[in-house]
Amino acid sequence: MPRTDALLRDPRLAAAAGRLGERVVKAAIRQAQDRARSGGIPPERVPDTAVALLPATPGGLRPVINATGVLLHTNLGRAPLSEAARQAVAAAAGPTDVELDLASGVRARRGRSALAALADRVPAAGGVHVVNNGAAALILAATALAAGKEIVISRGEMVEIGDGFRLPDLLVSTGARLREVGTTNRTSAADYAAAIGPDTGFVLKVHPSNFRVTGFTRAAGTGELAALGVPVVVDIGSGLLAPHPGLPEEPDADTALRAGAALVTASGDKLLGGPQCGLLLGREDLVRELARHPLARALRVDKLTLAALEATLTGPPAPTATALTADPAALRHRADRLATALSGDGIDARAVESAATVGGGGAPGVTLDSAAVSLPEPYAAALRTGPVPVVGRLEAGRCLLDLRAVPPEDDTWLADAVRAARPAAGR
């Protein structure tokens, strides 16, 4: 049996130790030796087997092609970062001036350029602050403005955001009490007015971002609520900073603030297309109070997030924005080209029409015309477990690779992945 120290001198494994760390390389060596001990491979195959067992990337997370047709897939990390944001993250990875003014050499406001970029994009906000995610933004607002007091909220807006997380539970965990008003389907401004009193911390409006209630419904507008004389906090969820022509029903920060919201909370990694973070936008005095609250320190974002957020706000359109506005005819053209090329290799591939969705807590009920490459069902598992994992969608016994969330420059990669998956898919 080849010894571990000898194997570590194999140039390929020595190079890998520099790239991935010795622990990772030793684990691969141990696995290869175990295979030889149990007779699975001859001892002379151990070095090659250890090399083959090395992971491709230093971390456990692998890049994946999102061909699900769900633009913001929670299980795939929601919004993919733009090239500009990726470069900004790399630039900030080492020591960086996140909290230092290089000209004067004195301490400066943490993340000031990212915050300035955010303020610039939302002129209606007197103050801006960034925390770890949308839930953290709500927790900070509830703790700072309503602990020991009441949050007035419609029964139609007591939502679960996913994976068992319920906003009402989250709010109550801060020490605030919920004052429920109205009904599941109808709540009027008068319902809120009747509940407001000396104990009111704020009125909360939550965008039901992952379901729709239709029929005999009514909700009070932000403007009506702002007239009631207490702060109105609006959780818009998806992070649109201004109205989006393609998503007329989706709330946005600018509209909510102009209507009189004291604070708007949102996620950074949904329709804004940035890194995971939570945005707090609104009245200057309230935002300052939140940013100075002791809890703010526990929710603060790291330099990588600030770098990615700023580049998302100032740079070219993020992949999510591009995917949202992709032309269905162009998607169909790409699907045709891919299907033709793959059929030429004898694979049962067809271009089909498809319906994509926003997903991830945005634009519920909206479908986006899309196109997909349809393959036999066994390709789904084969593609997921291939060297370049591709996640498609199963529909009517076929594996669909929906192209709306796939950047056009990844088409070649996608075609190669399908060809590589063929033996495992069996046809």
Least distance (Å) between residue 66 CB and ligand PLP = 18
Considering the rule CB under 6 A, would residue 174 count as an interface residue with ligand PLP? no
Q: Which of 343, 353, 359, 282 is nearest to 126 (CA)?
A: 282
Q: What is the DSSP string of 202-236?
A: EEEEE--TT----SS-B---HHHHHTTSS-EEEEE
Least distance (Å) between residue 164 CB and ligand PLP = 13
Using the minimum distance from each CB to ligand PLP, give the nearer residue, 96 or 173.
173
Least distance (Å) between residue 240 CB and ligand PLP = 11
Give the integer Cα–Cα distance in Å for 48 and 87: 35
For ligand PLP, the binding residue among 65, 76, 161, 176 (CB under 6 A) is: 161
Per-residue mark of binding to ligand PLP, 109-138 (x: CB under 6 A): ------------------------xxx---
For residues 17 and 51, is the Cβ–Cβ distance under 8 A? no
Residue 150's DSSP bridge partners are 177, 200
Contacts with ligand PLP in 385-404 (CB under 6 A)?
A: none
Least distance (Å) between residue 133 CB and ligand PLP = 3
**Helix ranges restricted to H, 269-327:** 284-292, 294-298, 303-314, 319-324
Least distance (Å) between residue 261 CB and ligand PLP = 14
**Closest residue to bound ligand PLP by CB:** 134
Give the integer Cα–Cα distance in Å for 126 and 373: 47
CA dihedral 8, 14, 19, 23 (to 10 degrees): 10
Per-residue mark of binding to ligand PLP, 220-249 (x: CB under 6 A): ---------------x-xx-----------
Q: Which residue bears the tokens 């090399």? A: 51
Beta strand pairing status for 127-131 and 278-282? antiparallel
Using the minimum distance from each CB to ligand PLP, give the nearer residue, 5 or 163.
163
Strand order, beta sheet including 232-237: 127-131, 278-282, 263-267, 232-237, 200-206, 150-154, 177-181
For ligand PLP, the binding residue among 29, 32, 206, 247 (CB under 6 A) is: 206
Least distance (Å) between residue 384 CB and ligand PLP = 24
Using the minimum distance from each CB to ligand PLP, give the nearer residue, 111 or 274.
274
Using the minimum distance from each CB to ligand PLP, give the nearer residue, 69 or 361.
361
Least distance (Å) between residue 361 CB and ligand PLP = 3
Considering the rule CB under 6 A, would residue 207 count as an interface residue with ligand PLP? yes
Sign of the CA dihedral running 153, 155, 161, 164: positive
Which DSSP letter does residue 186 get?
Answer: B
Contacts with ligand PLP in 326-365 (CB under 6 A)?
A: 361
Residues that bind ligand PLP (CB under 6 A): 133-135, 161, 206-207, 209, 235, 237-238, 267, 278, 361
